């Protein structure tokens, strides 16, 4: 049975979500792992403001930014080893302080009840993505999850989102990407899906400067945007003048 959902006048069969900053608030655990690594390197700890600015481009870039921010930047060769240690620290207790954002579970359940396929497209490593989704009780609500090392490319490259949609069996013109930052909007535009940003995540670029179809303050506002339920939205196409 086809889904009744529609977005921008088009039918929608799938919604793909970013993970960190969209479905979950993982900054405390990522910061803990980064600061443990920095302590081992004799560096100062990052503030939570810095941690939040560094999230969104995968583990390697987070480590690269952390090293550059606290002293001498790491060489490419050394960065590989540092990233491996960071991931080990993170995966040792990846959900100690991580929380699911309000209305996420209800929204996912209602989307699935409406017949939509649900995906996750994140730059977090695949193994950590699967473990976090499982531990937080989200895995059975997700039809396909593609981490940053699942394909040869990652967000904002269109191939990452298109690969996720292939796993879901849904074409791009019948899908919506929901995220929290400029890479999520860019990958949606590149792949040809709808683009929705939440206003509560880890965006580095001001949201009103990002080209997107809509902005929402809570995830359940997506339901009204898709014609599936009540909610209020901040709906403005493209950057504001």
Supply the range of the domain harboring residue 50.
Answer: 27-92
**Res 115 pLDDT > 70:** yes
Terminal Cα-to-Cα distance of the chain (whole angstroms): 42
Query: Could you tell me which residue, 100 or 233, shows the higher pLDDT?
Result: 100
Domain harbouring 186, CATH code: 3.40.50.1000
Joined tokens for residue 115: 């017949």
| Within-domain flag for 230 | no
Q: What is the pLDDT of residue 150?
A: 97
Task: Give the model confidence (pLDDT) of 194-238 as tens digits.
Answer: 999 999 999 999 999 999 999 999 999 999 999 998 644 444 444
| Within-domain flag for 241 | no
**173 given a catalytic annotation:** no
Q: Are residues 44 and 144 in the same domain?
A: no
Domain harbouring 58, CATH code: 1.10.150.240
Number of domains in the chain: 2
Q: Are residues 69 and 108 in the same domain?
A: no
Q: What is the pLDDT of residue 232?
A: 41
Task: Give the model confidence (pLDDT) of 30-71 as tens digits.
Answer: 999 999 999 999 999 999 999 999 998 999 999 999 999 999
Q: Are residues 31 and 18 in the same domain?
A: no
The rounded percent of the chain whose pLDDT value lies above 70 is 94
The angle formed by the CA atoms of residues 19, 13 and 24, to the nearest 5 degrees, is 15
CA nearest to 19, candidates 239, 227, 219: 219
Cα separation of 89 and 33, whole Å? 5
Q: Are residues 115 and 165 in the same domain?
A: yes
**Res 108 pLDDT > 90:** yes
Band of the pLDDT at 112, cuts 50, 70, 90? Answer: very high
Band of the pLDDT at 173, cuts 50, 70, 90? Answer: very high
**Res 78 pLDDT > 70:** yes
Q: Are residues 33 and 43 in the same domain?
A: yes
Spot the catalytic one: 18, 143, 184, 213. 18
Q: Are residues 114 and 148 in the same domain?
A: yes
Q: What is the pLDDT of residue 95?
A: 96
Mean pLDDT along residues 157-173: 99
**Tokens 């960071």 found at:** 86
Q: What global pTM score does this model have?
A: 0.92
Last residue of a domain, one of 92, 126, 146: 92
**Res 89 pLDDT > 80:** yes
**Res 240 pLDDT > 50:** no
Q: Are residues 63 and 112 in the same domain?
A: no
| Within-domain flag for 233 | no
Q: Are residues 11 and 113 in the same domain?
A: yes
Q: Are residues 48 and 10 in the same domain?
A: no
Three-state DSSP class for 190?
Answer: helix
Cβ atoms within 10 A of the Cβ of 15, count? 28
């Amino acid at each position: 049975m086809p889904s009744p959902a529609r977005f921008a006048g088009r039918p929608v069969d799938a919604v793909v979500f970013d993970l960190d900053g969209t479905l979950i608030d993982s900054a405390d655990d990522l910061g803990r792992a980064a600061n443990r690594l920095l302590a081992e390197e004799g560096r100062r700890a990052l503030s939570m403001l810095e941690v939040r600015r560094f999230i969104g481009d995968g583990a390697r870039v987070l480590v690269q930014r952390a090293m550059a921010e606290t002293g001498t930047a790491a060489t490419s060769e050394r960065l590989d080893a540092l990233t491996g240690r960071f991931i080990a620290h993170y995966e040792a207790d990846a959900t100690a302080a991580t929380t699911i954002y309000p209305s996420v579970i209800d929204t996912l359940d209602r989307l699935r009840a409406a017949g939509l396929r649900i995906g996750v497209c994140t730059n977090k490593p695949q193994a950590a993505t699967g473990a976090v989704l499982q531990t937080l009780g989200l895995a059975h609500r997700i039809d396909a999850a593609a981490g940053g090392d699942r394909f040869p490319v990652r967000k904002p490259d269109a191939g990452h989102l298109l690969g996720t949609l292939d796993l879901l069996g849904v074409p791009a013109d019948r899908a919506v990407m929901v995220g929290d930052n400029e890479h999520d909007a860019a990958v949606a535009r590149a792949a040809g899906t709808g683009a929705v940003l939440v206003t509560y995540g880890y965006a580095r670029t001001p949201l009103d400067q990002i080209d997107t179809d809509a902005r929402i303050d809570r995830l359940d506002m997506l339901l009204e945007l898709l014609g599936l339920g009540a909610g209020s939205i901040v709906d403005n196409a493209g950057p504001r003048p």
